[in-house]
Amino acid sequence: MNNYNKKYFDFYFKKYNKRIDDYVKNEIINLKSWDKVLDAWCWVFLSLLEFYKINPKLTFYWTDIWDVEKFKPNFVKFKKNKLENLTYKNNTFSLIYCEMVLEHIKEPLKVTKELYRILRPNWKLIIKVPSIWTLFMPWDKNFFWDYTHIRPFSRKSLLRLNKDSGFKEKNIKIIFSIKSNNKFKNLILENIILRIIILPVFYAIKNIKNILTYQYWYNIYIIFLQNKFSAFPLISISKK
């Protein structure tokens, strides 16, 4: 593993606090012991760690373009792959989870067609991607802050990507990540009262001693915008 890849792994493994959306949790809970789950390429298997806690009887697979097999947990079966040309057989997996990957891919349709191919009939592919609202975020919160990002997604573009991959429109559901969590059911109340008013005010009071500094007002600005314009990803749940 080269130095860049190791830094990437260490960053996410040690610092990234994984949060699994409630909708995804429900899908994992409903799977049977003979079902196979694939985490396609990203987040250094942290999703699988959470999935394992929810339903440890499942068989978990992880595929990545890097040689990171030595870091995997014992319950995970790893295979090095390019997503555009996967080596798994047709109709292998009951659930495929692809989080924050497609925005890095030049031709995402090639990837989603491959994921469709290896997905079992009547089972689901879950894709999570940044929404176009991240384009409104400033500086390091902006979508293009990461130079490896190519495109964010809108509801329509994510829907079309799934349809062009082979999924029927009636079997595709597009939601914002925030709406898939029970504690955020009241989206208006959550965004307007808590995230736009309470959080900035709380920060302002807590850090009142620094009120004359640039960093003070910058942080308030970020808190306000990040919640107002929603860095919350889009999720598509598609049934084959």
Angle between helices 155-165 and 108-118 (to 10 degrees): 50
Considering only CA atoms, which of 140, 101, 130, 128 is closest in space to residue 225? 140
pLDDT one-digit tens code per residue, 97-142: 999 899 999 999 999 999 999 999 999 999 999 888 788 776 666 8
Q: Is 198 exposed, middle or buried (0-12, 13-18, 19+ CB in 10 A)?
A: exposed
Work out the percent of the chain whose per-residue pLDDT is above 70.
70
Q: State pLDDT tens for residues 184-213.
A: 444 445 555 555 566 667 767 777 777 777
Cα–Cα distance measured from residue 98 to residue 86, given in angstroms and rounded to the nearest whole number: 14
pLDDT at 195: 57
Name the amino acid, one letter, at 225: L
**Is the pLDDT score of 2 beyond 80?**
no
| Spans of all domains in the chain | 3-182+232-239, 185-226
Of the candidate ranges 115-124, 140-149, 227-236, the one whose mean pLDDT is the lowest = 227-236
pLDDT value, residue 41: 79
- pLDDT in the model for residue 7: 52
Q: Regarding the domain delimited by 3-182+232-239, which CATH topology (the fold level of the hierarchy) does it fall under?
A: Rossmann fold (3.40.50)
Q: What average pLDDT does range 141-164 have in this prediction?
A: 91
- Determine what percent of the chain is predicted with pLDDT higher than 90: 44
pLDDT, tens digit, 9 for 90 and up, residues 7-49: 544 544 444 445 567 778 889 999 999 999 999 976 567 788 8
